[in-house]
Structure 1
C-alpha cells in the first residue's frame, strides 16, 4: 500500500469534511433521541463511501481525457471562484 498517498488523501478529505454540511446533517440526525446512533453512523459512512467511489471513478475516467495537471488547475480555479462568490455575497449582505 502507498502509505504516503493514503495519508495525504485521508488528511485532505478529513479536513474538507470537517464541519461541512454533511457533518452538520449527521449531527442533527444523531441529536434526535429516538434515532439509533449506529444507524445514523452507518448511513452517513455509507454515503461518504459511495460518493468517494463516484469521485474515484469520475477521476479515473477524466484522466483518460484530461491530464492531471489540467484537472488540478481547473479544480483550483473552481474553488477560487466559489470562494470569491461566497465572499462577495457575504460582504454584500452586511
Structure 2
C-alpha cells in the first residue's frame, strides 16, 4: 500500500467509527513518539520491570521502526455532510 485508502461513506455511524479509530491511532503514535524522543536518562518500565540501560538503545530502535511503519493512518476521512445523496433530483 502506498497511501491512504479513500472511499465515499454516507453513513454517519460508519464515519464515527472511523474517526474514533483515527483518534485511537493518533494517541498510540504520540505514545511511540514519547518513547523515541525521550531523554537519554529516561527510565522505562516494561511489565513493571525497569528496562536495563544495556537494552534501552535496542528498545528505542524497535519503537522507532514501529513508528515508521505505522505513523500514517491508512484511511483518509473526508466530511461528506454537504454532499447531495439524492442524485438526479
State TM-score, norm by structure 1.
0.32
Task: Indicate the structure with greater helix content.
Answer: 1
Q: By percentage of residues, which structure has more strand?
A: 2
When the two structures are superposed, what TM-score results if normalisation uses the length of structure 2?
0.34
Return the structure number with greater relative CO, CA threshold 8 A, min gap 6.
Answer: 2
